[in-house]
Amino acid sequence: MARYQASGLVLFAEPDYAVSAASTLPNDPRFQDGTQWWLNNYGQNGGLPDADIDAPEAWDIVRNASNVIVAIVDSGIRHTHEDLAANLWTNPLDGTHGFNALTGNHDPWDDNGHGSHLAGIIGAVTDNAKGVAGLAWRVRLMACKFLDAAGNGFNSDAMASIEFARTNGAHIINLSWGGSEFSAIVSNVIWSARADGILFTAAAGNNAQNTDVLPFYPASLALDNLVAVGASTRTDASWSFSNYGATNVALFAPGAAIYSTGFTNDFHYASRNGTSMAAAVVAGALALLREQHPQAPAPQLIERLLTSVDALPAFAGRCRSGGRLNVRKAVDRPAIAVIPEVWPVQLRITGVPGHRYLLTASTNLNAWTALRTNFADFNGDWVYEDHTSTNTPLRFYQALPGP
Ligand code: CA
Ligand code: CA
């Protein structure tokens, strides 16, 4: 460039920068410089292009989860961090940000770093020109500390933390820890939180083992409100220490060389590896989904995640879905609810504006007849009158995306 400019033969010289189609790109420096490869991988630093979760494409649809509380049951959170403070849940009673099972008070200060790192993955304050981007730009992070400074803890304290989160309105609870021993107390508290629609994300574990054979708890619990996550790399390989299991692991998500918020001061950031990080990525994705579909039952949101993965050879046979998280696909699938309005036959189909739906009917919930294909209007609605219906036999309706 300098030689061109010095030659006097050209008016100006500049690099031929690569550009891409418009999508939502926040101004956080570590997102912009490509360090956060899992959000947007264009082949930087030895990565494989598009070995990522398509975050900018997802953010075109939903970026904030301001109504969602994500509890991080871990080592606490450095709640004064420059890139976390504004996204902390605040207890309306006393202005604190969570719970400490080790001291029994409301001061979950992080003396280990693990929890603060997860917090930034899920929901660092984003587009604030500082640090990193979180998967959810705005969210309410609840800190529940039960791991000590060395990263160790007891199931009884985990249970107390989960109970605190449940009582205080958490929608999603991240469990990035575990062990080989089954705990009835942890299993029961996770299952009973299902009644409140609470979703759990759990790290599959970092032992490079098949958890269908050697389980890792709580990830290996067979509960439909819990999703177990293995770790993938910037080349869409399985991270070398990640556990796997065709039954006991649900999906993979990025979990190697993950750069996020640190804990030694308010401007500290650090890189970590592990299925812990992968579980937090999925917790962030679920926060966005939960914001989109506040009424959806937990198993439905998990189903949405698992049916929208990028199926890849590295994960085939190593998890139930056979793939790596793709958030864009997960948030781009229409919500479908058919609500009968007037008997006999007015129906309102609610989905995504401009998307096409096929309305079907059945008298036995088994054989379905196509009634009509139509586009949802700008509100995402489509009202249909079924003049052929009678009260007997009863007729059921179902709307499907497409064709
Ligand atoms: Ca991508
Ligand atoms: Ca930031």
Compute, in angstroms, the gap from residue 333 CA to the centroid of ligand 2. Answer: 28
Contact 245, 317 (CB under 8 A): no
pLDDT higher than 70, residue 125: yes
CA distance 308 to 301: 11
Q: Which residues surround ligand 1, an ion (CB under 5 A)?
A: 50, 52, 54
Ligand nearest to the CA of 21: 1
Compute, in angstroms, the gap from residue 138 CA to the centroid of ligand 2. Answer: 11
3-class SS string, 101-170? CCCCECCCCCCCCHHHHHHHHHHCCCCCCCCCCCCCCEEEEEEEECCCCCCCCCHHHHHHHHHHHHHCCC
Ligand nearest to the CA of 23: 1
Which pLDDT value is given to residue 127?
97
Compute, in angstroms, the gap from residue 312 CA to the centroid of ligand 1. Answer: 14
User: Tell me, which fold does domain 29-330 have in CATH?
Assistant: Rossmann fold (3.40.50)
Quick one: pLDDT band at residue 360, thresholds 50, 70, 90?
Answer: confident
Taking only the tens place, the pLDDT of each residue in 33-65 is 999 999 999 999 999 999 999 999 999 999 999
Taking only the tens place, the pLDDT of each residue in 265-309 is 999 999 999 999 999 999 999 999 999 999 888 888 998 999 999
**Which residue stretches of 182-224 are H helix?**
184-193
What is the bridge-based pairing of β-strands 138-145 and 98-100?
Answer: parallel
| Per-domain boundaries in the chain | 29-330, 333-401
User: Tell me, which fold does domain 333-401 have in CATH?
Assistant: Immunoglobulin-like (2.60.40)
Quick one: pLDDT band at residue 342, thresholds 50, 70, 90?
Answer: low
Which pLDDT value is given to residue 362?
80
Compute, in angstroms, the gap from residue 260 CA to the centroid of ligand 2. Answer: 10
> At a CB cut-off of 8 Å and minimum separation 6, what does 267 contact?
81, 82, 131
CA distance 383 to 168: 39
Active-site residue list: 74, 114, 276
Ligand nearest to the CA of 127: 2
Compute, in angstroms, the gap from residue 371 CA to the centroid of ligand 2. Answer: 49
